[in-house]
Amino acid sequence: MSAILDILPMSSWIDTQGKPLIIAGPCSAETEEQVRETVSQIKTEGYAHVIRAGVWKPRTRPGSFEGMGEAALPWLVAAREETGLPIAIEVATPQHVELALKYGIDILWIGARTTVNPFNVQDLADALQGADVPVLIKNPVNPDLALWIGAFERINRAGIKKLGAIHRGFSNAQENKFRNSPMWNIAVELKTMFPELPLIGDPSHMAGKRAYLYELAQRALDLNYDGLIIESHRDPDKAWSDASQQLTPKALGEMLHELSIRQAEYGADFQSNLETLRSKIDNLDRELLEILGTRMSLVEQLGEYKRDNNVAVLQMNRWRELRKSRGDLGKQMNLYADFVEELFELIHMTSIRKQTEVMNSAPVA
């Protein structure tokens, strides 16, 4: 896939003095008070270059808090006046763009549920024509790199040269540790294609839970991301949206302090082919293990089901069918037949071991 973007470096729209860009702020602007207090605490902590806040919230289900809309814009303008920090908000419709520009919002971002739809992205591009505002584009909810690139092309063709990518992970149908699967290799691929495009990690929406923020943020920095966008709320548990993934401004400061920036080791990571390829392989291996972990937890459930229904662990028909279908799949993917066979023998043996263990344990009362 070849594509060209005409973009300006990140330093043309924000000065981070060589450090990773930190965007912090609440998932949503809820009240004037909450915005003022949260932003002022973030300012006091001193780590943020930009404040984020959602004004229009794209909610999966109706009836959840859908954002305060235009009413919140003056609160954000006031927060910028008090702190001197530029403000970023999400835009999803041409009306949002129009209002954001009218209030002089400094940075816009396009959310994951908007990036998936080329019609919506084109509408935003048309509304942005002639504006000189940085636009950050979140990855689409589904793992489709071409769709993400298409969004950059549309916005870029409208004359927006201050662009950045936000990697927030991809929705996962299977059971998973994270709210959104990172699939790091997709973002690394984007950065490899467009080394000058700033890449910003969004551990908040990947994690879904505070406990995982640190490891995801560290991983983004290890991959030489240009910055992080992290949700922070004065009273996270009472947040009107995304309560379980937000941190207080102080806790965010402590977390950022703990992160190591491995500039020296990674250096020109993306310039070096060897390093790029190795980091892609590292990512894939990690995902392989994550998938094996998910598979094993399904096997465990299967074991419990067999135990409770008095079914034998090994069913020859199933194993024969599994071996054949995996062999056929492997062939389509140009993998050595004996490799696929041995791999699935090992996986199958380990599943049997797990299920036998479950069989011999007492059901939970």
- Binding residue (CB under 5 A) for Mn ion from 27, 35, 91, 151: 27
Nearer to ligand PEP, 167 or 191 (CB): 167
> Three-class SS of residue 341?
helix
Decide which of Mn ion, ligand PEP, none touches 58; Cβ closer than 5 to 8 Å per partner kind: ligand PEP
What mask, x for binding ligand PEP by CB under 6 A, covers residues 310 to 349? Answer: ----------------------------------------
Residues near 297 by beta carbon (within 8 Å), at least 6 away in sequence: 175
Contact status, residue 203 vs residue 169, Cβ threshold 8 Å = no
Q: Does 303 bind ligand PEP (CB under 6 A)?
A: no
Residues near ligand PEP (CB under 6 A), total: 9
59 versus 353: smaller Cβ distance to Mn ion = 59
Between 23 and 256, CB nearer to ligand PEP:
23
Residue 112 near ligand PEP by CB under 6 A: yes
Give the whole-angstrom CA distance, residue 276 versus residue 73.
41
169 binds, among ligand PEP, Mn ion, none (CB under 5 to 8 A by kind): none
Q: What is the DSSP string of 292-314?
A: HHHHHHHHHHHHHHHHHTT--S-
Q: Which stretch binds ligand PEP (CB under 6 A): 108-116, 156-164, 207-215, 280-288?
A: 108-116
**Closest CB to ligand PEP among residues 96, 138:** 138
If one asks whether residue 242 binds Mn ion (CB under 5 A), the answer comes out as yes
Q: Are 119 and 94 in contact, with CB atoms under 8 Å apart?
A: no
Smallest distance from the beta carbon of 233 to Mn ion, in angstroms? 10
Q: Kindly indicate which of the ranges 32-40, 62-70, 106-114, 337-345 contains the residues binding ligand PEP, using the contact rule CB under 6 A.
A: 106-114
Q: Choose among 197, 191, 139: nearest CA to 164.
A: 197
Which of Mn ion, ligand PEP, none lies near 111, with the C-beta cut-off 5 to 8 A by kind?
Answer: ligand PEP
Site string for Mn ion, 193-232 (x = CB under 5 A): ----------------------------------------
Q: How many residues does the chain have?
A: 365
User: Is residue 82 within 8 Å of 99, Cβ to Cβ?
Assistant: no
Q: Shortest CA distance to 147 belongs to which of 3, 9, 333, 287?
A: 3
Q: Which residues 6+ apart lie within 8 Å of 291 measured at CB?
A: none
Is residue 168 near ligand PEP by the rule CB under 6 A?
A: yes
Q: Applying CB under 6 A, which part among 107-115, 251-259, 270-278, 297-305 lies near ligand PEP?
A: 107-115
Q: Indicate the residue whose CB is closest to ligand PEP.
A: 111
Residue 137's DSSP bridge partners are 110, 165
Are 174 and 146 spatial neighbours (Cβ–Cβ below 8 Å)? no
Binding status of residue 54 toward ligand PEP by CB under 6 A:
yes
Burial class (CB in 10 A: 0-12, 13-18, 19+), 30: buried
Q: Residue 183 carries which side chain, given as an amino acid letter? A: M
Residue-wise burial string across 119-158, b where 16 or more C-beta atoms lie within 10 A, e elsewhere:
ebbbbbbebbeeeebbbbbbbbbebebebbbbbbebbbeb
Q: Specify the DSSP element, H or E, that contains 88.
A: strand 87-90
Shortest CB 28 distance to Mn ion, Å:
7
How is 105-125 classified by DSSP, letter by letter? -SEEEE-HHHHT-HHHHHHHH
The residue within the footprint of ligand PEP, chosen from 43, 96, 138, 167 (CB under 6 A), is 138
Nearest approach, Cβ of residue 170 and ligand PEP (Å): 10
Q: Using an 8 Å Cβ cutoff, are 234 and 247 in contact?
A: no
The residue among 217 and 340 lying less far from ligand PEP, judged by its C-beta, is 217
Q: Which positions touch ligand PEP (CB under 6 A)?
A: 27, 54, 58, 111-113, 138, 168, 205
Q: Which positions touch Mn ion (CB under 5 A)?
A: 27, 242
